[in-house]
Amino acid sequence: MKSIVKTTLVALAMSAASVTYASAADIGACLITKTDTNPFFVKMKEGATAKAKELGITLKSYAGKIDGDSQSQVAAIETCIADGAKGILITASDTKGIVPAVTMAREAGLLVIALDTPLEPIDAADATFATDNFLAGELIGKWAAATLGDKAKDAKIALLDLAVSQPSVGVLRDQGFLQGFGIDLGDPNKWGDETDARIVGHDVTAGNEEGGRKAMENLLTQDPEINVVYTINEPAAAGAYEALKALGRENDALIVSVDGGCPGVANVKDGVIGATSQQYPLLMASKGIEAIAAWAKDGTKPANTPGKNFFDTGVNLVTDKPAAGVESIDVKEGTDRCWG
């Protein structure tokens, strides 16, 4: 059954593609995000839409109903193939599970670019346009270690991660942070196997305030003296701050995070978060559309950033308390470039 559907779709795609070749000028592209409500993806859509308009590309956007809704994404890929699009930009919910659908699209002659979240394996897509999440983590780790100075060697660290399934983005940020802080990683492909006594524990947050608060409470019960808190993103950081505030310890702990959303940057300004690594979803999407336009024109595939297996869209550390040896931008610049 599945193969019949597949063949039909590919056939459909072929015929649709030949139709579009005939009309030539009309280039189609698809943007598939995890949800269409998360401000990060809203910004991504904004960047893609603006660039598509500029280049005269017809953009169709699809999204899962909730984060983790992989089925809707597969359906969206099938729709794009049938629609005769030239390329797909996708932020996959299930980085392994989406691969067969992506392969099908590539076989049908579409350029597939993973945005923000690399597929597994990373070369399942034609290219990946993303933040260097490991570097993003490393920056906040270095900043935290430099800010603590001598006290870094007696730090008590809480790590608030994304999910127990250890998705790549969560692992990269977490391990990057630990490396930046100067902690031995064990296996860099997973968190939780480190043996450093400074780590109080890991817990998961689902990347929202509620999870951040609960995870922080759990870890504070294990050790109320925690003074360094790594968080997967800024909503989790806001939740962790509330848990610390409930104990009156909000001024004793250093919270660091990743994302650079506008509420997050505002929290850096207010001192809730010490520093955050900012990524640029708008840039990822607009570069992605440019790549699809180039592919449609003469079949050029986008190139990776030298030395990396993806195209790096950049990351900046945002803080008003710069630390020696760690490059950063101030909150004002961070606010100008924030999303959401």
Please identify, using beta-carbon distances, which residue of 154 and 210 lies nearer to other proteins. Answer: 210
Residue 246 interacting with other proteins (CB under 8 A):
yes
Please identify, using beta-carbon distances, which residue of 180 and 211 lies nearer to other proteins. Answer: 211
CA-closest candidate to residue 201, choices 150, 157, 260: 157
The two tokens of residue 299 are 């079949």
Q: Is 64 helix (H, G, I), strand (E, B) or coil?
A: coil
H helices present in 56-167, as ranges: 70-83, 99-107, 133-148
Selected binder of other proteins within 6, 12, 26, 39 (CB under 8 A): 39
Give the integer Cα–Cα distance in Å for 60 and 88: 10
Q: Which stretch binds other proteins (CB under 8 A): 52-60, 90-98, 171-179, 262-270?
A: 262-270
Q: Least Å distance between CB 54 and other proteins? A: 24
Residue 204 interacting with other proteins (CB under 8 A):
yes
- Strand 316-318 and strand 275-278: pairing? antiparallel
Give the integer Cα–Cα distance in Å for 276 and 265: 7
Residues 311 to 340: which contact other proteins by CB under 8 A?
340
Q: Which stretch binds other proteins (CB under 8 A): 95-103, 149-157, 199-207, 331-339?
A: 199-207
Q: How many residues bind other proteins (CB under 8 A)?
A: 31
Residue 242 interacting with other proteins (CB under 8 A):
yes
Residue 45 interacting with other proteins (CB under 8 A):
no
Residue 189 interacting with other proteins (CB under 8 A):
no
Pattern 118-157, other proteins, x by CB under 8 A: ----------------------------------------
Q: Which stretch binds other proteins (CB under 8 A): 126-134, 137-145, 239-247, 275-283?
A: 239-247
Sheet strand arrangement including 111-115: 57-63, 27-33, 87-90, 111-115, 127-130, 311-312
Q: Least Å distance between CB 234 and other proteins? A: 9
Please identify, using beta-carbon distances, which residue of 191 and 295 lies nearer to other proteins. Answer: 191
User: Nearest 5°: phi and psi at 292?
Assistant: -65, -40
Selected binder of other proteins within 179, 233, 267, 286 (CB under 8 A): 267
Q: Least Å distance between CB 259 and other proteins? A: 12
CA dihedral 266, 275, 47, 125 (to 10 degrees): -150
Q: Least Å distance between CB 312 and other proteins? A: 27
Please identify, using beta-carbon distances, which residue of 135 and 219 lies nearer to other proteins. Answer: 219
Q: Least Å distance between CB 162 and other proteins? A: 12
Contacts of 49 (CB under 8 A, 6+ apart): 59, 61
Selected binder of other proteins within 142, 209, 244, 334 (CB under 8 A): 209
Contacts of 63 (CB under 8 A, 6+ apart): 32, 33, 34, 35, 36, 41, 72, 76
Give the integer Cα–Cα distance in Å for 328 and 240: 24
The residue to which tokens 């790096």 are assigned = 312
Give the C-alpha distances (Å, rounded to integers) separating 51 from 55, 67, 285. Answer: 6, 25, 8
What separation, in Å, do the N-terminal and C-terminal C-alpha atoms of the chain show?
42
Tell me the one-letter amino acid at 134: F
Selected binder of other proteins within 10, 99, 122, 266 (CB under 8 A): 266
Binding interface with other proteins (CB under 8 A)? 37-39, 42, 66, 164, 201, 203-204, 208-210, 213-214, 217-218, 221-222, 235, 238-239, 241-242, 245-246, 263, 266-267, 270, 272, 340
